[in-house]
Amino acid sequence: MGKQYRHLFKRYSEGKSSEKEARAVNTYFSKIQEYGIKESNIDTDAVGQRILFRIEKKLGQKKMTNFYRMIASVAAIILLGTLWLTFNSVFNTNHYITVAAKFGEQKKMMLPDSSIVYLNSGSSIIYPEHFGENSRAVSLKGEAYFEVMHKEKHPFIISSNHFKTQVLGTRFIVTNYEKGIPSVTVVSGKVQVTDLHSSNSEIITKNQRVIYDDKTGSLVRYNTIESSDYLAWKDGRVFFDHANIDQVLLTLQRKYNVVLKLDSPLYQCNTISGNFSGNNIEKILNAIRFINDMDFVITKKDTINIRLKPCKN
């Protein structure tokens, strides 16, 4: 019977069945979709009889042979199974997962393709439970270091507020905090960075960096940097490269989960550079105070008041 069944449906799929036979089968396809049959209420015997009735009616025959009765019953099971799989693929949508690192913490995680992600403090990532057939897409807020598994035909895409970053497999850092300078820094491999506002793109490789300049609305490329400096946070350090004091305070708030209150005007005359390490923010602030005109007072366990001195002419 299996061989006969395959022969019949092979004829139908190849367009060799008669006009009446094709019309009968097509009518039943339509009826199944119209009735919205689900797995939980499938009665194969009853459905098989309905198939039989429909085909008999379309073919204008009073009675069919046992051979066609058997084919109709098998068709009911096979066709409904196929439609149920289709129903599942269309209506059972992929689930999305959100992982967040709070202020004062970092998180390491593995994506469905075995790529590794390190989330910096105050960051979050959204990704599907299963990646699609053509690409691997995630969404990032904040900062993360990616070690992406190489898949030649499945590009890895990170969407953030200003950038779309696309790779096949490499190691890189995407920075996209709400307040801060958006950037992409490559540790190894090659990355394509596209500005979502202008659609301009830059391709950068190891020890190169791209930032988004909100004043000009364009990408700025740096060809010779030390990528390990921008990955300092992963190893518990803090790195500043001519950073304005407001950016410094935001970074320290996220890392140490404290409130830094500015009790003076924001003077932009001084910038801060250097590598700072340690789990004690007081030591970090003392080091910054040593080379900058700044004072601080710890008022509570998690609150520090910062006072800047006016710029010297």
One pLDDT digit (tens) per residue for the chain, 313 residues: 334 434 544 454 555 656 655 555 455 444 444 444 443 433 444 544 454 455 555 455 544 455 555 555 555 555 555 544 544 444 446 689 999 999 999 999 999 999 999 999 999 999 999 898 788 999 999 999 999 999 888 999 999 988 899 998 899 999 999 888 899 999 999 999 999 888 889 999 999 999 998 888 889 999 999 999 999 999 888 998 888 888 888 999 999 999 998 887 776 666 788 888 878 888 888 888 877 778 888 887 789 998 887 766 5
- What residues have CB less than 8 Å from 91, skipping those under 6 apart? none
The model's pTM = 0.68
Q: Contacts for 81-87 with beta carbons within 8 Å, 24 or more apart?
A: 83/32, 83/33, 83/37, 84/38, 84/39, 84/42, 87/38
> Which residue do the tokens 């807020």 mark?
141
Confirm if 242 and 273 have CB atoms less than 8 A apart. yes
Residues of the chain with CATH 2.60.120.1440: 96-229
Best CATH choice for the domain 236-308 from the list 3.40.50.620, 3.40.50.800, 3.55.50.30, 3.40.50.360:
3.55.50.30
Measured in degrees and rounded to the nearest 5, phi and psi for residue 38 equal -115, 165
96-229: CATH number: 2.60.120.1440
Residue in 254, 253, 252, 256 with CA at minimum distance from that of residue 239:
252
- What residues have CB less than 8 Å from 155, skipping those under 6 apart? 135, 136, 166, 167, 168
Q: Looking at the chain, how many residues does it have?
A: 313
Q: Give the separation between CA 244 and CA 207, rounded to whole angstroms.
A: 23
Residues of the chain with CATH 3.55.50.30: 236-308
